[in-house]
Amino acid sequence: MPNKIILDTDPGIDDALAIILAINSPEIELMGITTTYGNVEIEKAVRNTFRVLNFLDHLDVPVYRGAYKPIIEEPHPIEAIHGSDGLGDVDIPAVDAELAGDAVEFMIEAVRRYPHEITIVSIGPLTNLALAMLMYPEFSNKVGKIISMGGAFGLTPYGYGNDTPVAEFNIYSDPEAARVVYDSGAEVYAVGLDVTNNPKAMISPEERERIRVEGGRIGKLFYEMTRRLAKLSHGVHLHDPIAVSHAIIREILSFKKYRVTVELEGRYTRGQTIVDRREELPEFLRGVPNIYVAYDVDGDAFKRLMWDRVFSR
């Protein structure tokens, strides 16, 4: 049976590709898409979700509006990366579609209705999830598992920050929310920059050109959306689709369970995801491991999945 998935997203170029991957994967039963601020402010996140679904002729997927700001601070969208519209300023028509309701209420109702069956794939800040946990104390016990694209854990040469020197964007956007989720007791799989920035999983300039030529209408959309990204770095990193891939083919990512703390107070380290790797010490000195952290990615398998489910459509 397909996995019951809620996709929590802030579209965002790579979010758009993650939505496409989820919809085109029969292993996933997409229960709904919950939106949040992050790459863009919340109204653009809602608008972009509908734009992508309309492009795919899948406006049947219910969409929910979520948090418009972090628990404590204010949002800081990144137009320099994703463009003024959040999707690389490409010509995807807007659509007048109706929201299905509130994101947090939907998450809570879903885990109540299907205890231990729901996987929430969060590819934006973790605010919606944290609010659901705070509003419904049984949430962490009833959700099946959580896959979070976020964090920089220092387990590989690529595990350093992209918003600050030590903090990844989604976690830095709401460190308090991340702390709530990591310490909740839920089964959390963190897919951080340690793997999403690994060159093995990156789309090279040559691969990007092949996608433009052979990848159909979605390939052309990808090429146009990533014009700005391609100029900023030597290739395109698909952070959010890598997180979604774990809900489709578990073996694409390798995980190990660690004690991870989210730094809230540091002047230079707020939002840092600190991994306790002192395995030689007993747990009472280093803390009980609380989340699974991805440390390796099968780049070839991931790119094959993207080609089969996204760019060959």
Domains of the chain by start residue, with CATH? 3-311 (3.90.245.10)
Burial of 282 (0-12, 13-18, 19+ CB in 10 A): exposed
Catalytic residues: 239
Q: Are 3 and 250 in contact (CB under 8 A)?
A: no
Task: Give me the mean pLDDT over the 215-231 stretch.
Answer: 91
Q: Kindly indicate the confidence band of residue 229, based on its pLDDT and cuts at 50, 70 and 90.
A: confident
Decide if pLDDT at 79 tops 90.
no
Q: What is the pLDDT of residues 5-53, one digit of tens each?
A: 999 999 999 999 999 999 999 999 999 999 999 999 999 999 999 999 9
What's the rounded mean pLDDT across residues 220-235?
88
Residue 105 has pLDDT above 80, yes or no: yes
Query: What pLDDT is attached to residue 297?
Result: 98
Closest CA to 257 of 134, 123, 145, 137: 145
pLDDT averaged over every residue in the chain? 95
Find the length of the chain.
Answer: 313
Q: What is the mean pLDDT of residues 121-142?
A: 98
pLDDT at position 283 is: 78
Assigned token pair, 82: 């994703």
Whole-angstrom distance, CA of residue 118 vs CA of residue 121: 10
The answer to whether residue 284 scores a pLDDT higher than 80 is no
Kindly report the number of other CB atoms within 10 A of residue 288's CB atom.
9
The stretch 83-110 carries a mean pLDDT of 92
Region 73-97: mean pLDDT is 86
Relative to beta strand 63-65, strand 101-102 is parallel
- Token digits for 107? 């998450």
Average pLDDT over residues 55-81: 92
Residue 180 has pLDDT above 90, yes or no: yes
